[in-house]
Structure 1
Amino acid sequence: MESSQCLLRVLAEMANFAAQLAAVLQACIKRSAGPKPSRAHAKAAHARVLAAGLAADTFLLNRLVELYSLAGLPCHALRAFRSLPDPNVYSYNAAISAACRAGDLTAARDLLGGMPDRNAVSWNTVISAVARSECPGDALELYRGMLEEGLAPTHFTLASVLSACGAVAALDDGRRCHGLAVKVGLDVNPFVENALLGMYTKCGSVADAVRLFDGIARPNEVSFTAMMGGLAQSGTFEDALRLFARMSRTGVRVDPVAVSSVLGACAQACTGEYNVALAIRLGQCIHALVVRKGFGSDQHVGNTLMDMYAKGMEMKEAMKVFESMPSVSIVSWNILITGYGQVGCYDKAMQVLDLMQESGFVPDEVTFSNMLAAFIKARDVQSARAMFDKISRPSVTTWNTLLSGYCQEELHQDTIQLFRRMQHQDMRPDRTTLAVILSSCSRLGILEHGKQAHSASVRLLLHNDMFVASGLVDMYSKCGQIDIARSIFSRMNERDVVCWNSMISGLAIHSLNKEAFDFFKQMRENGMFPTESSYASMINSCARLSSIPQGRQIHGQVLKDGYDQNVYVGSALIDMYAKCGNMDDARLFFDCMIMKNIVAWNEMIHGYAQNGLGDKAVELFEYMLTTKQKPDSVTFIAVLTGCSHSGLVDKAIAFFNSMESTCGITPLAEHYTCLIDALGRAGRLIEVESLIDKMSYKDDPIVWEVLLAACVVHANAELGECASKHLFRLDPKNPSPYMLLSNIYASLGRHGDASAVRALMSSRGVVKGRGYSWVDHKDGSLAFMVADDLGMDAGEFSVSSDHEYTSRITEGHQDETCVG
């Protein structure tokens, strides 16, 4: 009897002690709303439990799991859970909560999978944690698993799942979730309503968000903030501002988050097509509200204010906000640096960076990236590279910024070298990287590097991306691989106007003009509206075909679509009319252009020069010198060509001498060629010799070809022999110097020397190309070669090799053989 009473007394004492321990643990857990529980206290409580022999008490161990989790000791929590001999549902939920709080989602999902009886709380805990993770889409899979078990979702479930749908832009899944919320009657729950608003706005379905918002009986500050953010994101800034005004009028509490949201709308308005001055004024009104409400001490509000002023180019106001903030963060400094870079104050941006470091802030990658972008905008690639080299581990975005800078400055070899360095550092390129590299390969015409970039895109599964595929089409077409470009183009599931333009320009560049016209027609039939690039390519095709009728048709479409004042399209139209010999229409269009760039001036002057209107070329050039437009090296080539073709030798000498002295342009080989051509045509060969002696371009074959052509005209065998020797050395397979030297000897009666030159030509395997002509008629174009037997009837004309003659064309430094 006594032993039984003793046992009962011990059990009572243990139960009393267990109750005391449970009360202590519960008190520690309740204090978690304030400071985090002490890790030492949690371990001490565990020790008391073990010392009292209560290690198998499920209730106490459950409380210990919670306490360890709140104290930041997830490993201890899970160890305590695993020591339980018979864990219950509450034990599993406590362990899952501990794993989720520690960010160990793998352990949380394993625990969930091992639970004998899962409930809504278990699922909600894991779904919520996964929805907030780096892989929010996995929450949708868990949600489907919960539904398959027959568990009804709660408002917590739906809020987490809708957040995940918004994060991965899964609009269809979000709509299905909305339908289920309506079915179970949770669509009017405030948490679910706000989660639905956030999902629709993040998925870009603002119309659905507006309908939902209008149906909410009592929208709160979260509802208004989500709706304002969605409207701002869609570009309807005025609606976002009106909603903020409605929020204030209806008495809904305006908190710092709502203010930051509407300031973000103003900031986005400053970067778009909205009236920037109006956006700034509205932002200043919100700024006044911030001061009145006392939100100025909120760091996030201050940063958003700074960002709004910076994007509106009001850096003085941004600096005032910065100086008034009680505390600043690295984000605040970065906003200032970005703002000064956007307005072109690069020195000021560097000063802010120095001040930031002096204030004890360590620049992060965003800081260096912002400075990098500022230097790129200033076209200071060297400083950008120096800044890039300071970044210890640049992200792919930072790599792309520098690559784009090199590409924009046409430093394409540097672009390719930097891309190789990126690959050596195991940095995974993205679609932007590949597009930039393909652009550089296209500009350089380096097919081999382009193929390597293509291989990289296939390896990364990015070759079907529309952005990358457009770059591949452009690269292959510009490199002459038209069939491959067509193949890639035909396999694309989606095409934008850039892709069509790449295909059309590639065909036009390689003189596949009929195919270019066919693609242009298909592009319009597919609902694509041509851009200035489309029209420029088509106009260039008309110029190459010397087809005025087709050119006029394209010109009509240009006028209809409103591109007639685009300087690139306008320059192409001037070039087309000039190459078709219609200088009156070229000048008429030139005079109608409101804005003229240097290309338009050059095309007009060059058009006069090529059509034998040297006087008008000189006149237009001299008029240009009275305007704000300054000539470049191409302008001087054009006017010197005009002087040459029209015999204005003294004018040519004067313009040539003024290049460096007046305009600061160093003469290139092309300028010397034009002046030599002018002097040679006039028979002033002594001056030509003097000029050649002074210049440093003695290994340019074009110079000697021009001199040799002049020697033919003036039968100067001595100088012709000198020019021919240089050409034989520089371009031994070119038949022109052999033929021209032979003609000089023949004109002087030195037929033996002429035969010797032709024999030399034959012994070296040099073959003279046959000339050709073409005729446009109603059934198309007919091309024929020298000595072709066309079988023409009486009244038609025939072609004979006896009527062959050679005409020198300076443009592009080519020889064109014509037959008449």
Structure 2
Amino acid sequence: MWQEESWGSDQAQMNQVKEALEIFRLMLQKGVPVDSVSLSSMLGVCAKVGFDERDIDLCNQSHGKQVHTLSIKLGFEGDIHLSNSMLDMYAKIGDMDSAEKVFVDMNRHSVVSWNVMIAGYGNKCNSEKALEYLQRMQCCGYEPDDVTYINMLASCVKSGDVKTGRDIFDSMPCPSLSSWNSILSAYSQNDDHEEALKLFRKMQFKYQHPDRTTLAVVLSSSAELGLLEAGKQVHAVSQKFGFEKDVYVSSGLINVYSKCGKMESSKNVFSKLPEVDVVCWNSMIAGFSINSLDNEAFSFFKQMRQCGFYPSEFSFATILSSCAKFSSLSHGRQIHSQIVKDGYEDDLFVGSSLIEMYCKCGDVGQARYFFNMMPDKNTITWNEMIHGYAQNGYGDEAVSLYKDMITSGEKPDDITFVAVLTGCSHSALIDQGVEIFNSMQQRFGVVPKTDHYTCIIDCLGRAGRFQEVEVILDTMPCKDDPVVWEVVLSSCRIHTNLSLAKRAAEELFWLDPLNSASYVLLANMYSSLGRWEDARAVRDLMSDNRIRKDPGYSRSEYKIDIQNIMESNL
């Protein structure tokens, strides 16, 4: 619905643009005098055409260049207001080469001229060039204004150059609220959430009042770090400044409390909202899902629809995740039917979640059928299907699909390699696994991480190829990860490789001294070889270090009563 309304709005704007261009042509044909103001207005119209991707080929910058040529022909090239409009037009359609030429040819500049150039390079994610213009601006005696700094900060945010952005921010004599929000967003978007929270505290000490954007960004960082106290403090701030009933801020609060396991607090925030939107509903459903409260997740999904809200892509993806977690294939199929009915089957996000659901429920054939039917695929889609094959023991199919992915032109990422190497390990495809592992960095420029080393060591260890395992252990950068050594020790137990098992156990005693598993595995190895004294020595070491063996337990199938919840609406 939103997409249709947005498209309709864009279409209306495009119709207005075309009408404006047609009126301007009539002016010229009828000999109506054209001044710099009308030319400037037309350049603004051309900039709007350039922003619309559906019309970019039709525009091809030609309208703006024609107006530019006409302004020169009529002798207006010295008009600074018109020249700034030309700069703005070229910057907005992304033609910075033409903008540069206009800027160089200008007899004089204004702060607006410099600001437009900085913003233009910012939109092209070229913070270095934007910074060059800022420095030139200051060298030429122009004093940056608030717009200059906001444009420069936006440039750094888009380019991911947070350090330069922070330097710019710190140089501002009196940062505006927009500037605070820009630098906070930069830290949050680049996953430096601790710095975002530190900056928010500094903002409070400066007595700068936050707005809904500020609070939403800080809440997002608090949620990512799982900082309940920080979330509570922001909650108090939101109440102080009258934002506690703002749906944008409330969604952030729900997210924080959910990720900190405080679903009662999330429900309390939700219940106090006079009006809610689909984002708030989604936040609640996701919160229940994160905390394995899948019964409540389905209940809220039902309530959302009963209240007249149409599920979004995120709604469907979240509820499919709940189906996948407790392997409820029947309910997953019902959700799939609803997805088809609501027209989301071709959505990449929803499609990837459907593949994950079918694979985790063991119906790999249905997952592959749906995968084949998808009109578009991205890396996530391929990864889900490869991982589904791997987890269900179809290693050959995982490798085959991995090769199809490369043939299709989709570049594998680090998650792809974890998935396909897992498939190789579980299906004893040793040589294929080694070949794929070696190709990661050589062919695709993906640097192996701990998970990749763990997979290939597991793959080689299961086959008893310990010489190759030791070569990897000696050269890998992640020697301090206990999971790697646990995999080594487990493989050594299967093949009774005592010397390497002792090395792995010693590493684990040092890295994870309170974990009983390494002691038990080594002691059991000694016992199986009849080396009772050595086994007793290991158990004595456990006793001396006061390490107790973790109790075993069985996990019964997790079932929830959601039939009545789903039947009435699916």
**Cα distance in structure 2, aligned partners of 1:556 and 1:526:** 20
CA distance in 2, matches of 1:577, 1:349: 48
The aligned counterpart of 1:531 is 312
Alignment of 1:449-468 (within 5 A): 449-468=230-249
- Give the alignment of 1:442-521 within 5 angstroms: 442-521=223-302
CA separation in 2, counterparts of 1:474 and 1:518? 18
Distance 1:354 1:602 in 2: 45
Does the alignment pair 1:580 with 2:361?
yes
Say yes or no: does 1:772 pair with 2:550: no
Q: Give the Å deviation of 1:488.
A: 0.3
Q: Distance in 2 between matches of 1:394 and 1:778?
A: 54
Kindly indicate whether residue 412 of structure 2 is the aligned counterpart of residue 635 of structure 1: no
Per-residue CA deviations over 1:746-792 (Å, capped at 9, x if unaligned) read 645678987887898786444414112217699979xxxxxxxxxxx
Change (3 A) 1:502 1:254: farther
CA distance in 1, matches of 2:108, 2:156: 28
Structure 1 runs not aligned, ≥5 long: 1-231, 782-820
Looking at structure 1, the residues matched to 497 and 138 of structure 2 have their Cα atoms a distance apart, in angstroms, of 74
The alpha-carbon deviation at position 491 of structure 1 amounts to 0.8
The alignment status of 1:405 with 2:148, answered yes or no, reads: no
What is the SS of the residue equivalent to 2:143?
coil
1:608 and 1:490 mapped to 2: Cα distance?
Answer: 42
Q: Alpha carbons of 1:717 and 1:277: their partners in 2 closer, same or farther (altered >3 Å)?
A: closer
**Once the 2 structures are TM-superposed, how far is the Cα of residue 397 of structure 1 from its aligned partner?**
0.5
What is the CA RMSD across the aligned residues, in angstroms? 3.8
Are residues 308 and 770 of structure 1, via their aligned partners in 2, closer, same or farther at CA, if it must alter by over 3 Å? Answer: same
Of 320, 327, 340 in structure 2, the residue corresponding to residue 559 of structure 1 is 340
Q: Which of 483, 491, 501 in structure 2 is aligned with 1:702?
A: 483
1:603 to 354, 359, 384: 384
Distance 2:562 2:273 in 1: 35
1:772 maps to a residue whose letter is R
- For 2:436, the equivalent position in structure 1 comes to 655
What aligned pairs does 1:230-379 form with structure 2 within 5 A after superposition? 236=13, 238-239=15-16, 242=19, 264=44, 267-268=47-48, 270-271=50-51, 275-276=55-56, 299-300=80-81, 302-315=83-96, 318=99, 328-379=109-160
Name the SS of the counterpart of 2:323 in structure 1. Answer: helix
Q: Give CA deviations for 1:606-642 in whole Å, capped at 9, x if unaligned.
A: 2111111111222222333344322222222222211
Query: In the superposition, relative to structure 1, how do residues 642 and 431 fare at CA in structure 2: closer, same or farther (>3 Å)?
Result: same
Instruction: Output the amino acid matched with 2:556.
Output: S
Distance in 2, matches of 1:357 and 1:698, equals: 51
The percentage of counterpart residues that share the same residue type is: 48
Structure 2 counterpart of 1:771, one-letter code: S
State the shift of 1:411 in Å: 2.0
Deviations 1:407-449 (A, max 9, x none): 1222222222222332333322221111111111112222222
Measure, in 2, the Cα distance between the counterparts of 1:701 and 1:650: 26
Paired with 1:733 and 1:768, the residues of 2 have a C-alpha distance of: 14
CA distance in 2, matches of 1:245, 1:404: 41
Q: 1:726 to 1:306 in 2, by over 3 A?
A: closer
- The whole-number CA distance in structure 2 between the counterparts of 1:463 and 1:568 is 31
| In structure 1, distance between residues paired with 2:20 and 2:416 | 56
Checking the alignment, whether the CA contact within 8 Å between 2:324 and 2:358 is kept in structure 1 is yes
Q: Which residue of 2 aligns with 1:64?
A: none
- Aligned equivalents of 1:579, 1:755: Cα separation in 2: 42
Query: For the structure 1 residues 312 and 741, does the alpha-carbon distance in structure 2 shift closer, same or farther, using more than 3 Å as the test?
Result: same
CA distance in 2, matches of 1:418, 1:753: 56
Which of these residues, 197, 203, 209, is aligned with residue 416 of structure 1? 197
| Aligned position for 1:147 | none
Counterpart in the other structure of 1:645: 426
8 Å CA contact 1:673–1:702 kept in 2: the answer is yes
Q: Distance in 2 between matches of 1:742 and 1:665?
A: 39
CA contact (8 A) 2:295 2:561 kept: no
| Cα distance between partner residues in 1 of 2:129 and 2:467 | 58
* Structure 1 residues 625 and 240, CA gap change in structure 2 (3 angstroms): closer
- Taking the aligned partners of 2:552 and 2:159, their CA distance within structure 1 comes to 50
Distance change in 2, residues 1:259/1:561 (3 Å): farther
Is the 2:352–2:384 contact (alpha carbons within 8 Å) kept by the matching residues of 1? yes
Match of 2:567 in 1: none
Moved more, 652-661 or 569-578: 652-661
Distance 1:242 1:720, change over 3 A: closer
Q: Is the 8 A contact 2:515 2:547 kept in 1?
A: no
Structure 1's 660 and 264: CA in aligned 2 closer, same or farther, altered over 3 A?
closer
Q: 1:384 to 1:749 in 2, by over 3 A?
A: same
Q: Kindly indicate whether the alpha-carbon contact (under 8 Å) linking 1:606 and 1:617 is maintained by their aligned counterparts in 2.
A: yes
User: Helix, strand or coil for the counterpart of 2:478?
Assistant: coil
What secondary structure sits across from 1:463 in the alignment? coil
Q: Which moved more, 1:243-252 or 1:760-769?
A: 243-252
| TM-score normalised by L of structure 1 | 0.59
Structure 1 residues 255 and 487, CA, compared in 2 at 3 Å: closer, same or farther? farther
Aligned letter for 2:191?
A: E
TM-superposition CA deviations, 1:519-573 (whole Å, max 9, x none): 1222222222222222221121111111111222222233333333333222222
Is the CA contact (8 Å cut-off) linking 2:258 and 2:288 kept in structure 1?
yes
Which residue does the alignment assign to 1:387?
Answer: 168
**In structure 2, distance between residues paired with 1:475 and 1:408:** 17
501-510 vs 343-352, which deviates more?
343-352
Pair 254,492 (structure 1): closer, same or farther in 2 beyond 3 Å: farther
Tell me: higher relative CO, structure 1 or 2? Use CA pairs within 8 A at least 6 residues apart.
2
Separation in 2 of the partners of 1:269 and 1:494?
A: 37
Which runs of structure 2 are paired with 1:37-56 in the superposition (5 Å)?
none
After superposition, the C-alpha distances for 1:679-722 in whole angstroms (9 at most, x for unaligned) are: 22223345434543443434322223223322443345665555
Equivalent residues of 1:412, 1:440 under 8 A apart: yes
Aligned to 2:6: none
Question: 2:46·2:89 contact (CA, 8 Å) conserved in 1?
Answer: yes
Q: Distance in 2 between matches of 1:765 and 1:348?
A: 61
Specify whether residues 308 and 666 from structure 1 end up closer, same or farther in structure 2 by C-alpha distance, changes over 3 A only: closer
SS at match of 1:772: coil
- In 2, Cα distance between equivalents of 1:759 and 1:246: 93
Note closer, same or farther for the CA distance 1:562–1:417 as it changes in structure 2 (3 Å cut): same
Cα distance in structure 2, aligned partners of 1:778 and 1:541: 13
Distance 1:751 1:553, change over 3 A: farther
Give the Å deviation of 1:312: 2.7
Structure 1 range deviating more: 304-313 or 292-301: 292-301
Q: Relative to 1, partners in 2 of residues 1:289 and 1:496: Cα closer, same or farther, differing over 3 Å?
A: farther
- What residue number does 1:809 align with? none
Report Cα offsets for 1:205-254 as digits up to 9, x if no partner: xxxxxxxxxxxxxxxxxxxxxxxxxxx99964534774897898899999
Question: Aligned AA for 2:115?
Answer: N
Q: Which is greater in Rg? A: 1
Equivalenced residues, count: 550
Does residue 624 (structure 1) correspond to residue 401 (structure 2)? The answer is no
